[in-house]
Amino acid sequence: MSHIAPTPSSPPAPEDSDAGLAARAAGGDAQAFALIMRRHNQLLFRTARSILRNDDEAEDALQEAYLRAWRAIGGFREEARLSTWLARIVINEALARLRRRGAQVIPLDTAIDAAAETGEPWEEADPDLQPERITMRQEIRNLIERRIDRLPEAYRTVFVLRAVEEMSVSETAAALQLNEATVRTRFLRARGMLREHLSRDIDVALGDAFSFAGARCDRIVAGVLARISSQPAN
């Protein structure tokens, strides 16, 4: 596709639709394409990284995928979501990189079944010996301790004795001078509250995983635009 970069009648705006930005990019509007990149950078970086498991390589793959998308965006059709169209390009680029380095590539639509059939462990052996695992466990422990501290007092001590100290129901009841039914009820309630709050913490943390804001996003956009501008117009 020929990309000539005309001066647009009006600059693209953040509220423009994906389809509108794609149409402008197909006409050679690099700034519209820059908005597309900023809008989808995090999704596409996370997609590439999930395959390559390396930040730097994922960034390289993303830049190459964007260049492919820039050259092919004239073929984008509005009946598809632009994010899906871009993700497919990024996935293909990431998988191609795996193949070039000789890694075994399993089609994504069969990967789960294949892993289950081979019985290959997804955890590394001896996790306690991995420094990053030790650090991670420390962080998780700190989070759990903070959440236990926030439990109401009536539930907190029961939970510590039952779950942390692994005392029996009867031992806990005797220590706290409670009947066993109360111990069971308070323990179940404390565990439920703790699980609920930890689940929220995890949901928030997942939203921040492999983030792509700030300097990283600016670097990708600037790099792709520089390579686009250096390409001769056909």
pLDDT digits (tens, 9 = 90+) for 111-143: 444 444 545 554 555 555 667 677 777 878 888
pLDDT digits (tens, 9 = 90+) for 158-179: 988 898 888 899 999 998 899 9
Q: What single-letter amino acid sits at 140?
A: I
Which of the pair, 40 or 119, is modelled with greater confidence? 40
Q: Are 151 and 193 in contact (CB under 8 A)?
A: yes
* Tokens standing for residue 128: 């306690």
4 pLDDT higher than 90: no
Tokens 């009841």 correspond to 173
Least confident of 55-69, 192-206, 218-232: 192-206
Query: Alpha-carbon distance 24 to 185, whole Å?
Result: 62
Alpha helices by DSSP H, listed for the chain, are 18-26, 30-52, 55-72, 82-100, 111-118, 131-149, 153-159, 169-176, 180-208, 215-230
Distance of CA 100 to the CA centre of its chain: 25
Which of the pair, 110 or 59, is modelled with greater confidence? 59
Secondary structure (3-state) at 6: coil
The set of residues, in sequence order, having a beta carbon less than 8 Å from that of 65 and lying 6+ positions away, is: 44, 48, 86, 89, 90, 92, 93, 94
Q: Are 43 and 14 in contact (CB under 8 A)?
A: no
CA atoms within 13 A on the CB side of 131: 0
| Most confident by average pLDDT, 106-110, 121-125, 144-148, 169-173 | 169-173
pTM summary value: 0.65
Q: Classify residue 234 by its DSSP letter.
A: -
Q: Are 94 and 58 in contact (CB under 8 A)?
A: yes
Average of per-residue pLDDT values in the chain: 82
Secondary structure (3-state) at 127: helix
Least confident of 55-64, 96-105, 184-193: 96-105
* Tokens standing for residue 61: 């793959």
